Amino acid sequence: MTVTGNLRKMVTELNSEVQYHLPIGEHRVHLNPLLGKVLSLEFSGQINCIHCDRKTNKSFSQGFCYPCFRRLAACDSCIVSPEKCHFDAGTCREPDWAESNCFVDHIVYLANTSGVKVGITRHSQVPTRWMDQGATQAQPIARVQHRQLSGLLETALAKHVKDKTAWQTMLKGNGPDVSLEEKRQELMELCEADVEALQDRFGLQSLQILEAQPTVAIAYPVTEFPSKVSAHNFDKQARVEGRLMGIKGQYLLLDTGVLNIRKFGGYHVELETQ
């Protein structure tokens, strides 16, 4: 099989084992049946912005050209640090976009990736966000009315638990299961004053603590984890080839190294399978 086109991040489906589809141009390649087979992906040297489709010599923020990176609200610094939202200051890049994407309910959650971490996502992105991060367990712990508030709560919780995934550790295997509910209870006790302060500031109904929610278990299609993680990079090596040993998060685990598909959004590649 040979397909050609611009890459987009892998599409996931939560099942007994996560199902992965790789968008390449107009094609959508089901990757799970390709486990154990040799894949080659060759970068043509062409990059197209994932927003406006213009050709660009360099990709910014996982797939954007520089003008879009500078203009779009989706690329603003407050997306990475939502507690720094500047909408009320009248300086939001795209107020209409913010109304649709930031001023909607967000979920604050705990996930077991390379250990327990706290994270945030729009309610509509559950459980996609968890699969994209390679979480083996995840549990919602709060529902809030807008993105800035989710960031402020995450910042308070991050004083006591990690808010980042160590991706190399995540790709080396699945850590032991933990009780996310016990961790939630511990964090709520430690952050009780912070939660009350946020409810006083934004209103009692703006922040709803979710108690004893079911923990979602997530299994990934992996036959063998790498003992040492080395990353392929299309900017340094146009051709990536290897036997597909697994898929976790947005990474292909090849016997020659790992490839972060999301990092190379908009890259024009040819995929061949043997």
Question: How far apart are alpha carbons 186 and 259 in whole angstroms?
Answer: 36
**Average pLDDT of the segment spanning 96-107:** 97
47: confidence class by pLDDT, cuts 50, 70, 90: very high
- The string of pLDDT tens digits covering residues 161-219 is 999 999 999 999 999 999 999 999 999 999 999 999 999 999 999 999 999 999 999 99
Closest CA to 151 of 214, 101, 81, 206: 81
Asked if the model's pLDDT at residue 127 lies above 90, the reply is yes
pLDDT at 209: 97
Residue 114 contacts residue 170 (beta carbons within 8 Å): yes
Reported confidence tier of residue 8, pLDDT bands at 50, 70, 90? very high
Sorted by sequence, the CB contacts under 8 Å of residue 164 that are 6+ apart come out as 117
Tokens for 136, please give them. Answer: 């083996």
Q: 114: Cβ–Cβ under 8 A, 6 or more apart, which residues?
A: 165, 166, 167, 169, 170, 175
- pTM (2 d.p.): 0.96
pLDDT tens figures, 112-124: 999 999 999 999 9
List pLDDT tens digits, range 237-271. Answer: 999 999 999 999 999 999 999 999 999 999 999 99
The mean pLDDT value for 83-90 works out to: 95
Q: Are 44 and 22 in contact (CB under 8 A)?
A: no
CA distance 176 to 254: 23
Average pLDDT, rounded, for the chain: 97
pLDDT attached to residue 274: 81
Report d(CA 207, CA 205) in Å as an integer. Answer: 6
